[in-house]
Structure formats: structure tokens, C-alpha cells
Amino acid sequence: MMAQSIWARAFNRSRDEHGSVAIEAAIGVPAFGLFVAMIILGGRVEIAKQSVEAAAYEAARAASIERTQSEAIVAGRSSAASSLHDQDVHCTSTNITVNAAAFNAPIGNTAQVNVTVTCTVNLSDLSIPGVPGTRTITATASSPVDAYRERR
């Protein structure tokens, strides 16, 4: 008799819990989906940040080895755009600023080229509540200009 009453209580208890899995799933699945979306968001922003920083450094280096200020500006912009394209970063808007005033420095004076790359990354496809649809990432890099370079 004792065994029957234990089994009867266990059977009755399981009957009372019908539908609890559906309720747990209704609460847990959206929370897990939001967690995964936040991981994707963080990864996307960090990859874009690293790519923009790399583009700024590449552009500064490319600009610093040119002979004239106008060539430096063109080389810096071209290098940054190429770097972003090669790293498969999709910016909704890009701004590349090359400060090559260092090319006007007198011979023997040290100077540097500064490049700022700004990229707006689209995040609206993730549809995370409370997260803006875009994120603007900016990186600045500098590279020294050879004080004794050949000039034209």
C-alpha cells in the first residue's frame, strides 16, 4: 500500500505540472535570443572598431611615405578606403580626413601625418530593443614624416 501511495502522489504531481514546459519556453527562448543578439552586436562593433583602427594606421603610413602634400592626401584616403573594403566592413557612411600639413615643415624638422577615419556601422538588422540602428566608430592614427626626404 505504501508503494502505491507514493506512485499515486508522483503521478498526481506530474498531472499538475502539465504545460509548465511551454511556459518556460515562452520565457526562456526570447531571453536566449536576446542574449545571442547582444553577442552578435558586440562582435560586430568590435570587428568594425579594429578594422577602422587598422585602416587609419595604414592610411597614415601610406600618406607619410609620399613626396608631396597632395599625393599624401590622395594616398591616405585611397589606402583607408581600400583597407575598409578589404576587411569587408560595410559602413553606411565613411569620412576620411588626412592632415598632411607636416609636408610643409622645413627640412630637418620632425613632423607627422594624422589620419582620422570615421565609419557608421548599420546595426538595425539585429532589431535589439533599446539599441540604436547605427554606431559611429572613429579612429585616429599618425605616422612620422621623414625629415630628410627628397622633395619635389
Instruction: Report yes or no on 88 lying in a domain.
Output: yes
By residue range, what is the domain housing residue 107? 25-145
Model confidence band, residue 132 (pLDDT cutoffs 50, 70, 90): confident
- Name every residue whose Cβ is closer than 8 Å to that of residue 58 and which is 6 or more positions away in sequence: 79, 80, 82, 83
For position 134, what pLDDT does the model report?
87
Instruction: Report yes or no on 16 lying in a domain.
Output: no
d(CA 76, CA 15): 71
What digits encode the pLDDT tens for the residues 62-111?
Answer: 999 988 899 999 999 999 999 999 999 888 999 999 998 888 888 777 88
For position 17, what pLDDT does the model report?
63
Instruction: Report yes or no on 3 lying in a domain.
Output: no
Domain count, the chain: 1
Instruction: Report yes or no on 13 lying in a domain.
Output: no
Quote the pTM value.
0.77
For position 47, what pLDDT does the model report?
92
Instruction: Report yes or no on 4 lying in a domain.
Output: no
Task: List the 134-145 sheet strands across, edge first.
Answer: 91-99, 111-122, 134-145
For position 84, what pLDDT does the model report?
94
Instruction: Report yes or no on 112 lying in a domain.
Output: yes
Check residue 115 and report its DSSP letter: E
Instruction: Report yes or no on 11 lying in a domain.
Output: no
What digits encode the pLDDT tens for the residues 15-68?
Answer: 556 667 778 888 888 888 888 888 988 888 999 999 999 999 999 999 999 888
For position 123, what pLDDT does the model report?
83
- Name every residue whose Cβ is closer than 8 Å to that of residue 152 and which is 6 or more positions away in sequence: 67, 68
Instruction: Report yes or no on 125 lying in a domain.
Output: yes
What digits encode the pLDDT tens for the residues 136-150?
Answer: 999 999 999 877 766
What digits encode the pLDDT tens for the residues 3-17?
Answer: 556 656 655 655 556
